[in-house]
A and B are shown apart, each in its own frame.
Chain A
Amino acid sequence: MSRRTTLSLASLAALALPAGMAAAQSLTIGLASEPTAADPHYHKVTTNDSFSAHIFESLINRNAKMELIPGLAESWKPVDDNTWELKLRKGVKFSNGEPFTSKDVLFTICRVLNNETNVSRSYMEPMQNFTDVQTPDEHTVIIKSDRPIPTMPNELARSLPIIWSGIAKFDKLKFAPKEGCGVTSPWPTVAEFNTGRLSIGTGPYKLKSYVKGTGIEMERNEGYWGAKPHWKTVKMVPVPNAGPRLTGLMSGDYDVIESPAARDLPRIKENSKLDFVATPSTRLIFFQLDSGRAQSPFVKAADGKNPLQDLRVRQAISMAIDRKAIVQRLMDGMATVANQYMPAGMFGSLDKPAEIKFDPEAAKKLLAEAGYPNGFELTLTTTNDRYINDGQIAQAVAQYLTRIGIKTTVDAQAAAIYFPKRAKREFSFAIGGWPSENGEASGLFQYWVASTNKDQGLGTSNYGGFSNAAFDKVFVPAMALMDSAQRKAEYQKATQIALDNVPLIPLHFESSIWAYKKGLSYEGRRDQYTLAMSVKPTK
């Protein structure tokens, strides 16, 4: 007992010292959500990809604007409709000093196709469509697929972090995923990556330790082939709660934090020691309407029909919402009004989409034309813990709709309850959010707007049952066009058809926010990744 007291007294003396500033060259980041594994092929979510990008690189990288730039591959080109050829960078070494060659690419592809510990077949898209992967020499990879994959470079940039082939045993590696590619040892599991033993990549950082809930420590990979990042050591601490995350930044525990709450931005602006950057992301927030069936659970109209099936009603709802007010007042300007389904400038979007005007009077007229002069009753279902201010956005939209005669009530639920119910099509008017990960219009249309066709992987999230033959006729063939200019033109046509038929009601694109100490800068990224490499001291 007495010994413990002296120990604690000694420690109390240590407490009186002011918290020292973090040593230069080391960076501490407060994360909004925690990566679930150090295995780069475990679960395809932004948090995990953002973390793994420090340690494992892809063949093709993306800059902050999501444009493709050379990574481990110096160049890539389609040879024919179903074949791509990549030339690999020479002189690249893994963090353990082993050279990077085409064998590692083949091994990585084999691993994602034989990964038994991943969540819901993450990272198998589009690798499961490969029919052959050839490695004629150490720096050439030829990929053949069973169908044209025009977005192959984007897919390789977002779904194939390269791991070292030395973590498994094999005599001769060959592309035969069904037979295990010739690997003789068991495939590495997620737990082995978490210990750091197998986390060997070519990236700018090496994994030092990964303790769930406590944080991740990384150190600079001094043998990195590319531009050396400024920070020697990086610590990432998960702080899911926005309040403590911000106080941690203010008290100097963290140098950078992800996603401070929008309501706290004024405080960050006032604080002379802090700075922030807001970058529009590709994440669209929208409402999905149950327009595919004659009876919908949460719509009550006098004529007993489902008014959401009438295009005029959908247009009226879209015109009744004051998007600018929502962006300015609810989102504190940390969002961009959406007049189409992906940000202007992205592949397949309209360069100058027509503004969806806020016009309650015209909306009322349209409702009357559709046979609902006195409106109808509607329940709007939303998450309250998934998207930025989702609960408040739903309240605002409900008021706008009530104003044009559609008596709207809001039902807000936790995401854990909401998503399973939405998948069972239990809602009539439901919030949704989706980032265009592959940087093309197909990233959203394929899952949310195209008519459901399970065999082709189309319309898997089309819970509203929207189906438009004209749209499908343009969009589906376009997905297989290898010629970029042609594909882009067809996607733009599809975008226009979608806008004319209102399958989803677009609201805005969320901005991602990073806050940091004065004296640093962060290059905000469209893909919402938080990268230590992008944090730089201002000179």
Chain B
Amino acid sequence: MIVYILRRLVQSFLVLLAVSLVVFMAVYAVGDPIELLVSAEASDADREAMIKRLGLDLPVWLQYWSFLSRAFHGDLGTSFVHGIPAIELIVQRFPATFELVLVAIGLTCLIGIPLGLVAGLFNDKPLGRSLMGGSVLGFSLPNFWQGMMLILMFAVWLQWLPSSGRGDTVSIFGVPFSLFTADGWRHVMLPAINLALGNIALVLRLTATGVMEAKTQEYVKFARAKGISERRILTRHILRNILIPVVTVIGMEFGTLIAYSTITETVFAWPGMGKLLIDSIYKLDRPVVVAYVMLVTFIFVMINLVVDLLYAVLDPRVQLQEAQ
């Protein structure tokens, strides 16, 4: 187990290194940030000084090398646009994205799994069929359009919920969280629903097909013959078996949402990391883009590891070792 985790960590490190190289070169190739920063009023001397200060006068491999050596000291560079460390910018935005995704994943589990069970158990009844049919709609709606519709309905017409931004925050250990205030919850609701809808549909369908498959299996019939209550069959026998693919998907979705909730964050002006990434790409804020992708890669690698460990917990047959 320990050996397995260590080996995985070494692999992760190599992945991070490869990603840093690719991203650094890609952002380098996109364009020169100097013209966006230096005003047309600046003299050539000013421009040269700026280029020097940002280290943009060095050849690209030297730039990468100095980035790497600083990264090993925990310094991922300073934002060209904001003049403060890139990682600080990202960390400032992380809580907002994290709580948005947390609520979205919470909604996904709380709504998706129960509905999926219902749809799977009653797959031959109108209720089950309409749930399965409706779920197709859930993940085929374009995210930004759906977001605008939610705003139109709940914020503009009904005026129940605010349309954008992140309500009042409370500082916990110096980190601002909005999930501890009513206003914060009111703000997070619409974007979280927007993020969750597609995932609810996904989880619903996964659960339903799992249930349909499982309920005809021998072990379920046997359990029923033994006289075990329907409820216990459902929770102990069926649910436990079908949760493996669901856990995988939810884990991957968690990572995807944290990294790329960009569209929802843009539509709802949610001050999270996705919006920061887009803004930084537009402004060619190289250090922020690189630091961001590094961080996201790290998160994905960790999530993969956690999902693999969870398998072992859920399914005793899974052995933690690499394929020989």
Chain A residues with a Cβ under 8 A of chain B: 8, 11-12, 14-16, 18-19, 34, 36-37, 42-45, 117-122, 124-125, 190-191, 194, 211-215, 237-241, 243-245, 247-248, 250-253, 385, 414-417, 419-423, 434, 447-448, 454, 457, 460-461
Contacts and interface: CB of A to CB of B under 8 A. Distances in A.
A244 B276 contact: no
Interface of B: 30-44, 46-47, 49-50, 80-84, 89, 92-93, 96, 106, 148, 151-152, 155-156, 159-166, 176, 182, 185-186, 189, 266-269, 271-272, 275-276, 279, 281-284
Nearest to B42: A120
Contacts of A454: 43-44
A213 B93 contact: yes
A257 to B, nearest CB: 11
Contact of A251 (B34, B44, B47, B162): B162
Contacts of B44: 454, 460
B282 A414 contact: yes
7 contacts: A122-B39, A124-B46, A125-B41, A247-B156, A250-B155, A420-B35, A454-B43
A434 B40 CA distance: 9
A421 B30 CA distance: 11
A190 B267 contact: no
Given A11-B182, A212-B92, A251-B159, A241 B40 contact: no
Given A43-B81, A250-B163, A416-B36, 16 more contacts: A15-B160, A120-B50, A190-B82, A190-B84, A241-B267, A243-B267, A245-B269, A248-B155, A251-B151, A416-B282, A419-B36, A420-B36, A421-B31, A423-B35, A457-B41, A460-B42
B271 A213 contact: yes
Contacts of B49: 120-121
A171 to B, nearest CB: 29
B159 A119 contact: no
A188 to B, nearest CB: 12
Given A16-B160, A213-B92, A119 B83 contact: yes
A45 B38 CA distance: 10
Of A212, A237, A385, A461, most B-chain CB atoms within 10 Å: A212
Contacts of A15: 160-161, 182, 185-186, 189
* Residue in A34, A213, A454 whose Cβ sees the most chain B Cβ within 10 Å: A213
Nearest to B93: A213
Given A211-B92, A241-B267, A419-B35, A121 B162 contact: no
Nearest to B268: A244
Nearest to A423: B35
A245 B148 CA distance: 12
Contacts of B164: 237, 239, 244, 247-248, 253
A247 B275 contact: no
Contacts of B83: 36-37, 42, 117-119, 190-191
Nearest to A191: B84
A168 B315 CA distance: 64
A194 B92 CA distance: 13
Contacts of B160: 15-16, 18-19
B39 A44 contact: yes
Given A37-B83, A120-B47, A239-B164, A11 B269 contact: no
Contact of A211 (B32, B40, B176, B275): B176
